[in-house]
Chains A and B, each alone.
Chain A
Amino acid sequence: MTGGRLAVLARRVWAMTRDASASLLLRPGHTLGMISGVTVAVSSALASVVIADTQQAQVNLRFDLQRSAHVVVQAQSPTPRGFSEAGLERIAALDPVGAVGELSIWKPSARVSRSVPSPVVGAPLIVADPGGLRAAGATLQAGGTTGLLRGGGRFAWVGPQLAAELGVAPAVGGASSDSQILVEGVPFSVAGVLGDTDRGFGYLGRAVVVSRPAARRALGGNGTNVRLLAQVRPGSAQAVADYAVLAADPFAELTLTDATPPDGRRLLGNVGADLRLIGAALGGFIGLVGLIAVANTLMMSVHQRRRELGLRSAMGWSRTRVGLLVLTESGAAGLVAGILGSALGLGCASVWCWSHGWTLVMPPLLPLLVLAGGTVASLVGGVIPAFRAASTSPLTAMRS
C-alpha cells in the first residue's frame, strides 16, 4: 500500500471514529447503558484474576515448608525381583536424592503372633531394603542393622507399637523366645525394632518389615504393592520422579508410574488455578451480560436513529459505511468501558489486598487482555445492530 493510500485510509478511519464518538456523546444515556455493562464485566474479571493470583502468591509463601520431600514410583506389573541395584544406584547418584530403595506393602494386613501361643494380630507386612527404610526416615530403636534386609534369611524388623503389643524384642547374643514371631504362620527372628519415621510413614510403627528374598522364599508370591521410595530435597520431587521412572526401569518392564503424593504447593497451585478459572468464568459470564446490554442498547439506538441513518444513506453513504459507523460506536464504547473497567477492577483488587495486608500480584498483560476482551465483547454485541443499521433504506429519510 502506498503512502498516499495509507493516508487516505487513516483519514477515513479517523473520520469514522470522530463521527462515532460524536454520536456516542450525543446520546449519553444510551452510551452509559452500553459502557456500564462492559465495565462491570471487565472490572470483575480483572479483579477476580488479580485477587486469585495474589492469594496464590500468599499461599505459596506460607506453604513452602510443606513441600514434598519424597518420591514414590510404583510398579504396575508384578515382579519377583523388585528393583535392580543398578537402577537404584542411578537414582541415588542424583544430587537432590538423600536415600532411595524399595518400600513395598507386601500385604496390608498379615497375621502376626508370637511363636509361643499368643493372640494373632493383623499388621501391615512391608518388604523393604535398607535404602527404602532410610528414605522413610526410619531409625532403629533396638537390635541389629537393617543391612540384613538384603539377604534371604528369615529376619524381621517390627515397628515400636507392634513390638510393644506382641512383647517382642531383638535377640541379643542368640535366639530367644522373645525374638521369635510368626508371620502368616512362618517363623521369623526379630532382628530389630524400628524407631521414628518421617511424617507420612506412621504405618511403619505397627508394621513387620522383611526383605524381598525372605518374603518370596518364606511366604511366596510377588507382593501387591511394589514401590520405590526416594527421599529428596524439597522442590525436586517432580524432577526426580520423572527421572526415577526411566532410571529404575529403562526397558519399561515394570510399567512404572509416578505415585508421589502431591505436595502442598502443587495442590494449592491447583486451587489457585481453579480460582482464576472461576474468576475468568465469572468475567466471561458478566461479559456475556455486557454484550447483551450493548446489543440491546445499540438496537434501541439504531431504531431511534432510523431517520438519521436513512438520511446518511440517502446522502450517499454505502451500507457498509453505515454499518461500520454503528460498529465503530460499539467498539469505541467497549474501549472506554475496558479502560474504566480495568481501572475499577484494579482499584477494587488493590483495596482488597491492602485490607488483607497482601502484596498485589498481577500478570503484566492482564489489563491489556481484559481491555481487548471488553472491546471484542462490545464489538460482537454491535454486530447485529450494525447489520440492522446497514439495512436501513435510504427511502426512510424521504418517508419519515
Chain B
Amino acid sequence: MTGSGPLIELRDIGLEVTSPVRTRILHPVTLEIRRGTVVAVIGPSGAGKTTLASIIGALQPPSEGSYRFDGREVLDRTRNQLARFRADHLGFVFQSSHLIEERSALDNVALGIVDPAVTRADGLARGLAALAHVGLDQIAGRRAADLSGGERHRVAIARALVKEPSLVIADEPTAALDQATGREILDLLGSVVDRGATVLIVSHDQRATDRADQVIRIVDGRFFGEGTTENTAEQR
C-alpha cells in the first residue's frame, strides 16, 4: 500500500449487458472504501452484490465508470496486467470454498501463492503460517475432501491470506454454514484487518454487518445506501 487516501474509489461504475437482451445489472455506483476496514455489501439474492464484488476484484470489467485502486486506475490495464493486479493485491474467499478435494489443506493454501519465484519450501512455510492464523495448522496434511464445511472455509480464508493481500473479497462466506460456524467465519474475516488488509464481505446475511465499518446496501442493481452498522440497522 502506498497512499493514505481511500484504497478503492469507484466513480459511476455500472454494468449493462446487451446479450441476449439489453439488461442493466448494476446501476452506476460511486463510493470509496477506506484501508484497513471491514466493508459489508448486503442485499437480497440477485441484487447485484456479486457483480459489484467481481468488478472490484477485477474479474469482470464494468461497462462504464472509473475504478481506482490505491490511487491508480484499474480499468485501463490489459488482461495480463489485471491478472498480475489480482496476484499482487487481492485474495478471494468464494461461496463454495473451491478447494481441490484430493490435495491436502496445506497444498490448497499454498496454491494461493501465485508468484512462481517463491520456492516450494517457502510456499509451504507461508501456507502453514496462514493455516495457523485460522487455527488449522494441526490438520495441515488432511485432504480437503475430509474437512468439514467450516474447516473448508477456514482453509479458503487461509489461501486468500497467504500472499498477504491488500484486499480480501469474500463472496457469501456464510452460505451453507450453520449459525455458529457462520459466526466463526465472519469473526475470522473481521480479524483479517488486524493483518493490515481491507475486507469486503458480500452477503445477504445481515450478520455480516455486525463487524462492518462500512455497509453498502444494494437492491435490484441499485446502490441503496451506505453507512455504518448502526444507521444500516436503522434502515432495516
Contact = CB atoms under 8 A, between A and B. Distances in A.
Contacts, number: 75
Assign chain B's interface to a size class: 20 to 34
Nearest to B96: A400
Nearest to B50: A398
Given A8-B117, A395-B54, A395-B59, A318 B84 contact: yes
Interface stretch (B6-14, B35-43, B97-105, B222-230): B97-105
B92 A315 contact: yes
B203 to A, nearest CB: 14
B117 A307 contact: no
Contacts of A314: 57, 59, 86, 92
A316 B86 contact: yes
A397 interface: yes
Contacts of B86: 314-316, 394
Contacts of B112: 315
A83 interface: no
B53 interface: yes
B60 interface: yes
A316 B102 contact: no
A307 B60 contact: no
- How extensive is the interface on chain A, given as a class? 20 to 34
A319 interface: yes
B188 interface: no
Interface string A7-40: 0100110011010001000100000000000000
B193 interface: no
A316 B83 contact: yes
B23 to A, nearest CB: 16
B195 interface: no
Query: Which 10 A-B pairs give the minimum distances between C-beta atoms?
Result: A316-B87, A316-B86, A316-B114, A12-B116, A26-B102, A318-B83, A394-B59, A395-B59, A311-B98, A318-B80
Interface in A356-400: 393-395, 397-400
B114 A15 contact: no
Interface string B67-97: 0000000000001100111111010101010
A308 B100 contact: yes
A317 B116 CA distance: 10
A183 B84 CA distance: 100
A395 B94 contact: no
Contacts of B53: 398
Contacts of B140: none
Contacts of B57: 314, 398
A18 B87 CA distance: 20
Given A26-B103, A395-B54, A316 B98 contact: no
